[in-house]
Structure formats: C-alpha cells, structure tokens
Structure 1
Amino acid sequence: MKNVLKWPSFMLVLILSLVLSGCSTGEESSSSGGSGGSTDAKGTIEQIKERGKLIAGVKYDTKLFGLKDPASGEVEGFDIDIAKALAKQILGDETKVELKEVTSKTRIPMLQNGDIDIIIATMTITDERKEQVDFSGVYFEAGQSLLVKNDSAITGLESLGGVKVLAVKGSTSAQNIREKAPDAEVLEFDNYQDAFTALKAGKGEALTTDNIILIGMQQTDNNYKLVGGNFTSEPYGMAIRKGDTAFVEEVNSLLKSMKDSGEYDTLHEKWLGSKPE
C-alpha cells in the first residue's frame, strides 16, 4: 500500500520539476539577447535620449574624415564634426557623443550588435550593403583612385598588370580593383594606416581607395601622388540599423538643415579645403 501511495507523489515532483525547468529556460532565452533583445524594440533615438549620449562608429585612421591624434588622443575630421552635429540636434549638446573606432570590416557587425548607434565612416552606399543596413542620403561624393610613389611608372588601371595593389578589408575598393584590374595582385589590410605603411615599406606598388582618403595620406607624405583619376563613384552615406525609419529621417533632417544653414559648406571647406561644387 505504501508503494502505491509513493508513486503518484514521485510523478508529481517530476512533473513540477519539468515545468519549472521549462519556465527557467524560457526566461534565459528572452533575456540573453543582450542589446539585440528588448532594446531593439525601442527606436535608436529613444535609446540615445535614455542613455544621454550618441554612440557613433567612426574611423580613427582616415585623415580629413576621422583621425586620432596619438599625442592628444582626440579624434578629428569631417565625419567627427557631423557626429557632433547629430548629437547636438538630438540631445542639445555636441559633446554628448562617444566615438567608437570602426574599420571597413567591423562597422556593420558593430552596428547590428548594438555596439554603436550609427556608422559615420567614409562608407559607400551600395545595393549589397542596403540589404544589411539602411542609409541616410548622400553626404559626400568620392571616387576611387590610386596612390603611388612620385617616380612610379604606374599611370592608371591599364598599368596594373602583374602589380601588387594594396587595399583594405571589407571595402568596396578591394572588390572594384579586382573587377577593373583582374591581372593585379590585391593584398588586403585591416585598416588604411596598415595599408599605407605597407606601401611605404615596398610591399606593394600602389594603394587604392577613395580619392579623398588618398589625398589625406598624400598630405602626410609628399613622396606619393594620385594617378589614374577617379574610376568609380563612391557616394558616402551614414548607416543605420535596418528598419529604423525614424532615425533615418532624423539624420536626413540634420543633413538638410546643415546644408540650408551653410554649416555643411563651412565643414567641407574646413576639412577638405573648398566648398562643395
């Protein structure tokens, strides 16, 4: 008789254990999403306001657009000033911005993971990237070119047969050069600083990326020149998490107000030496 009574009790304990275990697993699943969990239900603007600062993904190695001064630790450039202007529009204070370093390879994953609110980092708008992120309107028009030593015999794409050309991982430049100069040997580096260092060390005979980035490199070392003109169109946009239309509209509103007020022209002249044409 005792064994008969114990069997239902054992079954009850087992059932309760399974139910409680199932509840616990469900809670862990819902909370383990990190920044991609409940915070994704909120728009980026709301997150920025609750946090009290804008987190912008910017380059640290791109003179004129985003370059970190090793002495002061300050990051300066055209993209940086646009990030500050966006912080001022949303939070009323341009200093309420955190600048996080991104590279061409890391920027989209960092945006998707919630590590940054926006990418402002010399990023070309492409159909392929539009599948992963949303873009603001174009804020700068660049074009791909080549940087070589002053005494180089390279004059353009037609000179690249059998030549080692340096590029940056995750950039449209690496893809473009393979298509336009299929006989070139393309070597890819993590960032522009490493690629330029490799060029100066003789690991390649040409470096390719957007003309305005190459101009920044040339300004640091006048032993190099740009050749071949611009052989692509590279419209820069700011990248935002997919589907956040409110934030896209906010950023486009900023661009319009900066252009209407003349602030955009002032920044363009400050960093790039002339007002936009």
Structure 2
Amino acid sequence: MRRRPTLKVWALVPALALVLAGCGDDSGNGGAADSGPELVNDGKLINCTGLPYKPFEYEENGDVVGFDIDLVDLIAKKLKVEQEVVDTPFDGIQSGADFNSGKCDISSAGMTITDERKQNIDFSDPYFEATQALVAKKGSGIEDITDLAGKKLGAQNSTTGYDYANENAKDAEIVNFEDLGLLLTAVESGQVDAGINDNGVLYDWVNEKTDFEVVKEFDTGEQYGMGVRKGNTALLDVVNEVLADTKSSGEYDKIYEKWFGTKPPAK
C-alpha cells in the first residue's frame, strides 16, 4: 500500500471525530465492520510516529516505510482504509496529547509499554521485544555505561533510553535529543561520546556505519505496543485482532525477516 508523504504539521483535524461508534452492533458484529471504530478522517487510519526510527519507520523515496508501517498497513486493510503517517515529536505521542487533540488514531513508534504511559494512552498487545543498548565508535574504549564518567552520553527525549541513562549513568553528562536521527548524528560527529537507544535501531545503524558498534546491551525486558486514545476500545480490539491473526498466519514472521534479515527469536 502506497502512503502519502508524511506531514510535519496536521491542521484542522476535528477532535470530536474521535468519538467512538461503539464496539459492536446488536448482532454482535464489531471490529472493522460499519459499527466499528470511527476514525479522525473517513477513509484514513492516521498513524502518529517519530521519524526517523529505522527500520521501524523512516522515509525512503518520499514514502514512509518500515516494520511498524507494514503492520499498520494490515490494520488499515482490515478497516478498509488507507494509512497516513504524521511525523510528530515523541512526547506528544506518549503523553496522549496527540490522541486527545485529534491529531491521530493510532501510534506505531517503536514505543515501549510502561505503567507511566498506560496512564495516558491504551496499548495494544505486545508485538516486539526490545532492550536498551549502547553505541560508540570502535576503539573508543567505551564498553559499558560505567565507562562514561565525565563523558557525554546522548539520549532521545521522553524515551526509556533517556530514563535508563539518567538512572544508571549518573557520572556522565546526559545530552538530550528530539529524535533518533539527531542523536545518531551527534554520535557520528563526536558531539557525544556514546548514544543509548533500543537495540533494534542501533544494530540497524551500525550495519551502515561500520566505524561504530553496539558495545553493550542492557537487559531491560521491554515490549513494544501500538498506542490509541485512552478508552478507544473499538479500535484497540481491531488492532489486537490483526496482530494475533498476523502471528498465527505466519505473516508476522515474513515482515520481521523482511526488515531485520532474520526470523523472530524463538520463545
């Protein structure tokens, strides 16, 4: 499914369009049927995300592509609509502000399910396992977060990596960046001595930036979920149904291998 170019600013989206049509009709039918979730704009499933976050979501040749985007395409197909992606700062997603203002219906943003975020948004069932990791230039002598005393550690705003850095790298100077692209540019240019973020995006980056390496993973046991507005059970039911069907059919494994070059870890 081809997607329109991402929008940096979403204007004139009526917040009242978020009112739900209900989880089902009198016959018990629900999900993506006519009695299913109402969307911000008819004919579209608007997905708020923060770019770039390769290989989960990033721009390529004018389209937004990636692992998350392929999964949301399947949800849009179930709803018989087209996915449209809105690029927006991550804080507005995890705080729930983007849903409450009517900016989007759903968010796939490589977003870890946390108790704090559950107070602001509702999450789908987990669909990806991740952990925090540390990236640095080869030969830097940095092998762990404890080696960053007196050095600069880059982290992405409002992420679990930022939280982990502040809790565990107390002797380092934490430098905060708005998005992953700015963070990795700072690592590459030497503006910071190392960067912390989810392992999936860092391993993807060092595949291209061969002067750098993931020097350490931290067992944080994180799981990604897709977010929707608090109380939007009609849409959440469809999301969970599609994720379950995708896994049982083997489609999830194909999409995973497409973007990560390997099958999902065995459980």
TM range (shorter): 0.7 to 0.9
- Name the amino acid aligned to 2:15: G
CA distance in 2, matches of 1:43, 1:171: 33
Q: Verify: 1:79 aligned to 2:68, yes or no.
A: yes
TM-score, normalization: structure 2? 0.84
Provide TM-score, normalisation by structure 1: 0.81
Unmatched 5+ stretches in structure 1: 1-33
Percent identity between the aligned chains?
A: 35
Retained in 1: the 8 A contact 2:48–2:86? Answer: yes
1:43–1:172 Cα change, 3 Å:
farther
Write the deviation string for residues 18-70 of structure 1: whole angstroms up to 9, x where unpaired.
xxxxxxxxxxxxxxxx7334x3432495323970111111332111111112x
Q: Which ranges of structure 2 fall in alignment gaps of 5 or more residues?
A: 1-12, 23-35
- 2:27 is aligned to none
Tell me the C-alpha RMSD between the 2 structures: 1.9
Aligned length: 239
Q: 1:56-109 CA distances to partner (integer Å, 9 max, x unpaired)?
A: 11332111111112xx21111101101111101111x6xx11111133223232
More displaced stretch, 100-109 vs 137-146: 100-109
Distance 1:181 1:61 in 2: 25
The alignment partner of 1:46 has SS state of coil
The answer (yes or no) to whether the contact 2:129–2:224 under 8 Å persists in 1 is yes
Distance in 2 of aligned mates of 1:244 and 1:104 = 20
Alignment of 1:178-189 (within 5 A): 178-189=166-177
1:24 equivalent in structure 2:
none
Q: Does 1:42 align with 2:28?
A: no
Partner of 2:44: 53
CA separation of 1:43 and 1:118: change in aligned 2, threshold 3 A: farther
In the alignment, the residues of structure 1 paired with residue 164 and residue 244 of structure 2 have an alpha-carbon distance, to the nearest angstrom, of 31
> What SS does structure 2 have at the residue aligned with 1:170?
coil
Is the helix fraction higher in 1 or 2? Answer: 1
How far apart are residue 220 of structure 1 and its match? 2.6
SS at match of 1:63: coil
SS in 1 for 2:91: coil
d(CA) in 2 for partners of 1:127, 1:49? 26
* SS at 1:100 equivalent: strand
Please state if 1:103 is matched with 2:89.
yes
Match of 1:193 in 2: 181
Q: 2:156 aligns with which of 129, 147, 168?
A: 168
CA contact (8 A) 2:50 2:179 kept: no
State the AA in 1 paired with 2:79: I
Q: 1 CA distance for matches of 2:78 and 2:229? A: 19
